[in-house]
Chain A
Amino acid sequence: MIRNFDARSALLSVLILISGLAIWHFATHVPETGPVGVVLSAEQTDTLLGNNMAAEDIEFYASQGVAFPQLEQIAALNLSRETIEMAGGIRALGISVPDANSAPAPGSLFPSPAKIGVELWATITDPFYVAGTNDMGFGIQIGYSLLRVIIGYTLAAAVAIPLGFLIGMSPLAYKALDPYIQVLKPISPLAWMPIALFTIGDSELSSIFVIFICSLWPMLSNTAFGVASVRSDWVNVARTHELGTLRTALTVILPAAAPTIVTGMRISIGIAWLVIVAAEMLVGGTGIGYVVWNEWNGLRLDRMIVAILLIGVMGMLLDAAFARLQRAVSYVE
């Protein structure tokens, strides 16, 4: 029955994907027709010839979809075919006011799934190229992002878990510090960024700091909560066995609070991954967030969507790792 259920859910997932892609495809697909040639009247051709435009140029320009009013201006400005080539070619020059008949502009459409598939394939097959400081493969960029996340996150865990433990073991400290944690927790990474840049004065350290500060709170509050809500019976039992404080903490409280702590860590890693993309979009340079920004800057939506997809996949993998850890420490009372 369970196997059957798994198979059905997988089938449904695939169906959703296919129908989603199909809708996307039909909404964005434009057949590659090439330029729609313009037919000039004999009179118009004569006017252009009279303005010293060569017959073969007229034919070529018209075949590239440039309308008569624009051709007339080209003739009046006395632009040679060579000048037009130097200025990026006749097709780009022919773009005028959009009207119902004109073909859609080259970069104006949302990319179709097929186009993104092509980019995705190119990305996956060549993830580690380096074409300069500002243009490196996705593999390298994800590596940069992961490295920042790991450093910031590890620092946060190193601070939050012991501190949360202490706070959780003292009801007084827990109650006194709780308002501060609640205020600091919801602050957006983008709000921390300018402060970090200003005080730390280094964009690399600033992004790490922002990850640190944003992944700190869920771990801290979850650890404190987990430790504080360990059943008092268990602690009392430990006390009757005359266990020391440290031993009680490590052998009784830690395993008891572990599921809550790991939940906090899982929330934090998700936040850290969200934060790094935002931080890199802001400071630029390297990382997958920078890639999104860079492709956005060039209005290359296809590559941008590939980057977004990869961010999603990486986030899922990180979350899956912590889900495993969570299963490992969970227990049934």
Chain B
Amino acid sequence: MTHFKDPFNPNIDVWNECGEASGEPANPYVGLPAEDAEILRKRAKQALNPEVGMTRALESSVMQGLFKTDLSRRAFLRSAGVTGALAAVATVFPLSSLQLMAEEAIKNLEKTKLTLGFVPITCATPIIGGHALGFYERYGLDVDIVKTAGWAVSRDKCLNGEYDGSHLLFPMPMAMSLGIGSTAQPWKVVSNVNTNGQAIVLANKHIDNQDPKNWKGFKFAVPFEYSMHNLLLRNYVADAGLDPDRDIQIRVVPPPEMVANLRSENVDGYLAPDPFCQRAVYDQVGFIHKLTLDLWKQHPCCVFGLSEKFITENPNTTMALTTSILEATAAAETADGRVAFAESMAPANYLNQPVEILKQILTGVFPDGQGNIKAVPDRISFMPLPTQTMGTWVLSQLRRWNYIDSDTNYATLAEDLVLTTTTRETMRQMMNADVNLTFSDAEQDVFAPVEIQGQTFAPEAAQEFIDGQPFSRTI
């Protein structure tokens, strides 16, 4: 469902998610006066132009504000006629000025020369491939992307203002905003650059010891304290009855050093980003015990983050940048895109990895190091919409393990830190503007409960959820 939905067409449902089910006519102009149909056809054609498409999306939100439901909107259009409706709505809301605003966004960039940071892992595919394949240039941006040694340095460079925006771990903008582990500076989760895409890797000697219950005394590596990796690993071993702070040791190791640490038996395993999971298999030092999507399907991982200051000072640039990254994210999700992005990221300028490993990761056809060949197309996914459920889970898990030291209203905090609404709006606008563009996650319920390791997490009951979890530090 990516075709252009004109909010001024009385024949179609614009906001109803199951449009097909409500029996839309094959011809959307059926039964309309000839001149109205002509106007609508012209508008549909104009919408193919990305700039106009964006303004159509604005109209759509204005109309939704006016009529709330498709039913009342359609009734109004039928009685007033399309031409009449256009004129009537324009008197209430200056659509033309809104349209102008959206079109001007790309023309009036406050800042065109930008520096973005990234850590060389496949999670950053849209940010890196976006550079290699020229997605930023399309929106008039001249972007330098800078490879960064690890997450602590990334964070410091963000806080210093050396980076305009950065590839960050989902919990990082939250930790930065709350001032845990650093000075407090408000940063926002703009969009997910990937979902899934991580794995638990164990050293080859543990091939016959894959039950987490028997992992007492294991040493694990994760890339950062405030990472999904740390939180997911803790959750995983805690469910198996091990206290992650006492029964196992969790160390912070920069991703590039993980394979070497595994080889030298410094660690027994790690929960880490690719390519370093597949790289362990490629170098025959470890095997993939579990993909993280088997713990939580479509879990968030890395995000594109911007500071509140940047967003306020550069609204047009923010819009253009977000749009280009979202577009790259959507392209990375397609089957052809996966191969093209893998190839574009292999050189030393980007990931500096053998291309076959990157292709295995992005296409999801890979050996797991246990003698199996797997085909898991969503091994890494690119679902950009950062949901409130994700934000609430992360914040409440940070509380569970005492990174945040007092109970708080996780849902409200998540709403402030995770830009679900604006990102979703941009995604909708982009889909309206480009019929070939699909974000399958755009219309999902962002407060929907999710299943994580067989337990249902509902954001509104976050506190009760963590209070009831094993080894919770909340009491």
A residues touching B (Cβ–Cβ < 8 Å)? 69-70, 73-74, 77, 79, 83-84, 86-89, 91-98, 102, 104-108, 131-135, 194, 197-198, 201-203, 281-285, 293-300
Contacts and interface: CB of A to CB of B under 8 A. Distances in A.
B323 to A, nearest CB: 23
A48 B260 CA distance: 38
B365 A83 contact: yes
A93 B373 contact: yes
Given A203-B160, A282-B149, A296-B256, A134 B350 contact: yes
A174 B356 CA distance: 63
5 contacts: A92-B282, A105-B283, A131-B349, A285-B148, A296-B260
Given A97-B204, A202-B160, A88 B357 contact: yes
B120 A297 contact: yes
A70 B367 contact: yes
Contacts of A92: 282, 354, 356-357, 360, 367
Contacts of A132: 347, 349-350
Contacts of A105: 282-284
Contact of B348 (A69, A86, A104, A134): A134
A10 B102 CA distance: 74
A194 to B, nearest CB: 8
A134 B283 CA distance: 25
A84 B363 CA distance: 9
A74 B353 CA distance: 25
B212 interface: no
B355 interface: yes
Q: Considering residues B144, B153, B204, B285, which has the most beta carbons from chain A within 10 angstroms of its beta carbon?
A: B153
Given A86-B359, A284-B153, A133 B162 contact: no
B78 to A, nearest CB: 50
A79 to B, nearest CB: 6
A134 B145 CA distance: 8
Nearest to B182: A198
B160 A293 contact: no
Of the listed residues B145, B365, B366, B369, the one surrounded by the most CB atoms of chain A closer than 10 A to its CB is B365
Nearest to A294: B352
A84 B365 contact: yes
B399 interface: no
Given A131-B348, A134-B350, A77 B282 contact: no
Contact of A198 (B148, B156, B371): B156
Contacts of B400: none
B19 interface: no
A302 to B, nearest CB: 13
B409 to A, nearest CB: 30
Contacts of B88: none
Contacts of A73: 372-373
Given A87-B363, A105-B282, A133-B145, A70 B371 contact: yes
Nearest to A295: B352
B146 interface: yes
B347 A133 contact: no
Nearest to A83: B365
A103 B363 CA distance: 25
A84 B149 CA distance: 33
A96 B339 contact: no
B162 A202 contact: yes
B359 A87 contact: yes
A126 to B, nearest CB: 13
Contacts of A295: 352
